Amino acid sequence: AQKITQTQPGMFVQEKEAVTLDCTYDTSDPSYGLFWYKQPSSGEMIFLIYQGSYDQQNATEGRYSLNFQKARKSANLVISASQLGDSAMYFCAMREGEDDMRFGAGTRLTVKP
């Protein structure tokens, strides 16, 4: 069963505006971690941000923040002040306990000048 769902195949945002990329997950394990990665057209996978299931506060890293809503099992990525260089594929991933780490299908973000 698909455990990580990214429902937006593609998103557009105007430069300098904020954008939210959706991610929902399914798990019965109380201990899990949620990750977001960026994959530019060059192909490398770049770690952006991490949220642990027991973390009380939403994670932030510079212009990236994770809107963690545990009861709704969602972990949306918010990118503030979008830049042209933010155009890329974005993947949400989950790791349950000490188990495997699985990825969603990804969202392609295009930043318009």
Residues that bind other proteins (CB under 8 A): 35, 37, 43-47, 50, 91, 98-106
Burial of 20 (0-12, 13-18, 19+ CB in 10 A): middle
Instruction: Say how many residues make up the chain.
Output: 113
- Considering the complex, state which of residue 68 and residue 91 has its C-beta at the smaller distance from other proteins: 91
Instruction: In whole angstroms, give the CA distance from residue 106 to residue 5.
Output: 9
Instruction: In whole angstroms, give the CA distance from residue 84 to residue 68.
Output: 26
- Considering the complex, state which of residue 84 and residue 101 has its C-beta at the smaller distance from other proteins: 101
- Considering the complex, state which of residue 17 and residue 101 has its C-beta at the smaller distance from other proteins: 101
CB of 45 to other proteins, least distance (A): 4
CB of 53 to other proteins, least distance (A): 14
Pairing of strands 10-14, 64-69: unpaired
- Considering the complex, state which of residue 2 and residue 83 has its C-beta at the smaller distance from other proteins: 2
CB of 82 to other proteins, least distance (A): 22
Taking residue 58's Cβ as centre, other Cβ atoms within 10 Å add up to 15
CB of 16 to other proteins, least distance (A): 27
